[in-house]
Amino acid sequence: MTTVFESSATNKGGRNGHVTSESGLIDLDCKMPKSNKDKSDTHTNPEELFAAAYSTCFGGALEHVAKEQDLGDLGDFSVTATIGFVIDEDGVIIEATLDCYLPTLDKEAGENLINDAHEICPYSRATRDNIDVTLNLLVDA
């Protein structure tokens, strides 16, 4: 194995603490949100940070697979990751939903691309068989 690069971040104080990255680009207070409906929170949380990372990584996987398969330009595509903080009979878990908007592809090509990207995305591989991940293709109405 060859490590291409590494990134690091340090949290002090847990969910009600502060997180910084070695690069200095992340320097944020963390706090457990009151609810989904309270948009007045000015703090982030691990689920929001994971959503940002997963959506970005999955977007890169979509671009990589599209290029490999000669699918052309993906246009103004997007990936929205929603990470759920869930309590079930086993305790606290997380779940992920990836909503992928691929405006230049038809439904079949879009679904194939999403499934292929899910196979190679490092975040998808890391979560495989650990959390529920739902993949959605969003289409123009």
Query: Does the global pTM surpass 0.85?
Result: yes
d(CA 130, CA 116): 19
How much of the chain exceeds pLDDT 70, in percent?
Answer: 96
Predicted local distance difference test score (pLDDT) of residue 139: 79
Fold (topology level) of 46-138: GMP Synthetase; Chain A, domain 3 (3.30.300)
Predicted local distance difference test score (pLDDT) of residue 113: 98
pLDDT, mean of residues 111-116: 98
Predicted local distance difference test score (pLDDT) of residue 141: 57
Within 10 angstroms of residue 87's Cβ, the number of other Cβ atoms is: 8
Q: What tens digit of pLDDT does each residue of 68-79 get?
A: 999 999 999 999
Domain boundaries, the chain: 1-44, 46-138
pLDDT, mean of residues 28-37: 81
Within a 13 Å sphere around the CA of 99, how many CA atoms are in the beta-carbon half? 7
d(CA 74, CA 71): 8
Predicted local distance difference test score (pLDDT) of residue 73: 94
Q: What tens digit of pLDDT does each residue of 78-110 get?
A: 999 999 999 989 899 999 999 999 999 999 999
Mean pLDDT rounded to a whole number for the chain: 93
Q: 1-44 belongs to which CATH class?
A: mainly beta
Secondary structure of residue 25 in the 3-state scheme: coil
d(CA 112, CA 68): 13
Within 10 angstroms of residue 13's Cβ, the number of other Cβ atoms is: 11
